[in-house]
Amino acid sequence: MATTKVPSLSPSAAPPVPTTGTSAGSAVVRLCGVTVRYGSTVALRETSEWADRGEWVGVIGPNGAGKTTLLRSVARLTSYQGHIEIDGVSTAGLSRRHLARLVAYVPQQPELPHDMPVADYVLLGRTPHIGYFGADSEADRRRCAELLARLGLEAMADRYLGTLSGGELQRAVLARAVAQDAPVLLLDEPTSALDLGRRVDALELVDELRREWGLTVLSAMHDLTLAAQFADRLILLADGEVAAVGRPSDVLDETLLGHHFGARVRVLRDEGELVVVPRRSRSTPPLGDRGGHDA
Give the span between the Cα atoms of 51 and 31, in whole angstroms. Answer: 9
Q: Which residues in 10-29 are b (16+ Cβ under 10 Å) and which e?
A: eeeeebebbeeeeeeeebbb
Residues contacting residue 232 through CB under 8 Å, at least 6 positions apart: 55, 56, 57, 247
Residues contacting residue 163 through CB under 8 Å, at least 6 positions apart: none
Say what the pTM is: 0.86
Question: Which has the minimum average pLDDT: 89-103, 106-120, 192-206?
Answer: 192-206
Question: Which has the minimum average pLDDT: 13-27, 142-156, 179-193, 263-277?
Answer: 13-27
CA nearest neighbour of 32 among 91, 101, 117: 91
Mean pLDDT score, 18-41:
80
Which of 21-25, 134-138, 219-223 has maximum average pLDDT? 219-223
Structure confidence by residue, pLDDT tens digits, 200-211: 888 998 999 999
How many percent of the chain have pLDDT more than 70? Answer: 85
CB 172 within 8 A of CB 125: no
Structure confidence by residue, pLDDT tens digits, 114-161: 999 999 999 999 999 886 666 888 899 999 999 999 888 999 999 999
Measured between its terminal Cα atoms, the distance across the chain in Å is: 61
Between 294 and 273, the more confident residue is: 273
CB 237 within 8 A of CB 251: no
For the chain, the C-alpha Rg in angstroms (whole number) is 21
Give the span between the Cα atoms of 191 and 70, in whole angstroms. Answer: 18
Q: Map out the domains of the chain with their CATH numbers.
A: 27-102+182-288 (3.40.50.300), 117-180 (no CATH)
Give the span between the Cα atoms of 54 and 63, in whole angstroms. Answer: 27
Estimate the crossing angle of helix 166-178 against helix 196-213, to 10 degrees: 20
pLDDT band at residue 5 using 50, 70 and 90 as cut-offs: very low
pLDDT band at residue 198 using 50, 70 and 90 as cut-offs: confident
Alpha-helix residue ranges (DSSP H) falling in 116-267? 118-123, 138-150, 166-178, 196-213, 224-230, 248-251, 254-261
Structure confidence by residue, pLDDT tens digits, 228-273: 999 999 999 999 999 999 999 999 999 999 999 998 999 999 888 8
Give me the pLDDT at residue 271, please.
Answer: 85
Give me the pLDDT at residue 293, please.
Answer: 57
Give the span between the Cα atoms of 245 and 261, in whole angstroms. Answer: 16
Residue 286 has pLDDT above 70, yes or no: no
